[in-house]
Amino acid sequence: MLKLLCCVKQVPDVDQMRMDPETGNLIRAGVPAILNPVDANALSAALKVKETYGGEITLITMGPPNAEAVLRECLAVGADKAILVSDRAFGNADTLATSYSIASAALSQDSYDMIFCGKETIDGATGQMGPQLAERFGAAQVSGALLLKEVNEENKTMIVDRELEKGVETLKVTLPVLFTMEKTNYPVRIPNLKGKMKAKKAEITVLSADDIPGLDRSRIGDPGSPTKVPRMFPPVMPEPGMIIDEGSLEASVAKLMGLIKE
Ligand code: FAD
């Protein structure tokens, strides 16, 4: 049976988020938390693989306890199991520490044939997690995956189309493989009532740092994060332009010359 791991992140709805211009801090109060949009597409790709070839989908997220909500949302459309990696010790993690924590947690539970990620999140938007996780899982990496096909579980191979700037590249890859996905051929699934009821009751495996055997605490959270953010600030916008219309070409040119002299 194919074992599929889907990495999903709970993110603030950035359309509703503002930055405090004085402090540079993001104002998160009252901003709803949602499933990172392209993670829903990645999950749909995993569901399609499961429906076509059989398999089991495990979800994983690292985040605060309320990130459980996005796991239930994904369980409602057909994922089988879910892991929530949650502990204060994981806080203040940069991408290096985050990928180490997620891979350590996932591998403490099972091994995986395919790992699905979104291309990037709408809040952090580094796009670094996919490549880092591929390395940590010892998996081949296909970024910008478009179409997953011809999975041969016995030979541990499959065919993948991936997006290039000007065209499509077809690759034959050996499992395990990690995909990063955008909005592709896998539209977001809408849960039905039965799915929602099942997801509501589903057991979620919650892992703290102590629950992960062999986890190196110097590589998680703040101590494990070499990237520091000294300051955040909104971009400085250029002054708005001026339209000179004095009623005639001559008068407008005269006005412009005056302004240039000034
Ligand atoms: P991307 O690389 O853009 O995401 C690609 C894909 O990876 C996603 O589509 C998803 O499939 C997967 N993915 C990403 N994040 C997760 C996740 N958490 N769980 C499961 N799958 C995931 N964040 C905090 O919440 N608290 C902090 O205190 C904090 N401090 C930070 C300090 C620094 C210096 C930096 C650089 C970042 C900090 N972050 C913090 C952000 C945190 O590191 C990122 O949210 C995280 O590493 C994911 O990066 P990203 O959002 O850019 O994901």
- Higher pLDDT among residues 22 and 163, named by residue: 163
Question: How far is residue 186's CA from residue 197's CA, in Å, rounded to a whole number?
Answer: 24
Do 98 and 62 touch, CB atoms closer than 8 A?
yes
Q: What is the pLDDT of residue 198?
A: 97
Distance 253 CA to ligand 1 centre (A): 53
Do 117 and 124 touch, CB atoms closer than 8 A?
no
**Ligand 1 lined by 225 (C-beta under 6 Å):** yes
Per-residue pLDDT band for 185 (boundaries 50, 70, 90) equals: very high
**Ligand 1 lined by 207 (C-beta under 6 Å):** no
- Summarised one tens digit per residue, pLDDT across range 193-242 is 999 999 999 999 999 999 999 999 999 999 999 999 888 887 888 888 89
Which protein residue has the closest C-alpha to ligand 1 atom 9? 118
Residue 4: C-alpha distances to residues 56, 176, 234 (Å): 6, 10, 39
- Summarised one tens digit per residue, pLDDT across range 35-58 is 999 999 999 999 999 999 999 999
Q: What is the pLDDT of residue 179?
A: 98
Give SS3 for 259. helix
- DSSP label of 111: -
Our mutation pick for probing the ligand 1 site, out of 17, 26, 129, 132, counting the most ligand atoms within 8 A of Cβ, is 129
**Ligand 1 lined by 124 (C-beta under 6 Å):** yes
**Ligand 1 lined by 231 (C-beta under 6 Å):** no
Distance 93 CA to ligand 1 centre (A): 8
**Ligand 1 lined by 62 (C-beta under 6 Å):** yes
Q: Stretch 85-106: mean pLDDT, rounded?
A: 97
195: tokens are: 């799915």
Q: What is the pLDDT of residue 18?
A: 84
**Ligand 1 lined by 121 (C-beta under 6 Å):** yes
Question: How far is residue 142's CA from residue 116's CA, in Å, rounded to a whole number?
Answer: 10
Q: Hey, what amino acid is at 3?
A: K
Please tell me the total number of residues recorded for the chain in this structure.
262
- DSSP label of 210: G
- Summarised one tens digit per residue, pLDDT across range 123-136 is 999 999 999 999 99
Distance 98 CA to ligand 1 centre (A): 7
Which protein residue has the closest C-alpha to ligand 1 atom 42? 94
User: Which atom number of ligand 1 is nearest to the Cα of residue 225?
Assistant: 34
The overall average pLDDT reported for the chain is 95
**Ligand 1 lined by 36 (C-beta under 6 Å):** yes
Which protein residue has the closest C-alpha to ligand 1 atom 38? 94
Which protein residue has the closest C-alpha to ligand 1 atom 7? 129
**Ligand 1 lined by 170 (C-beta under 6 Å):** no
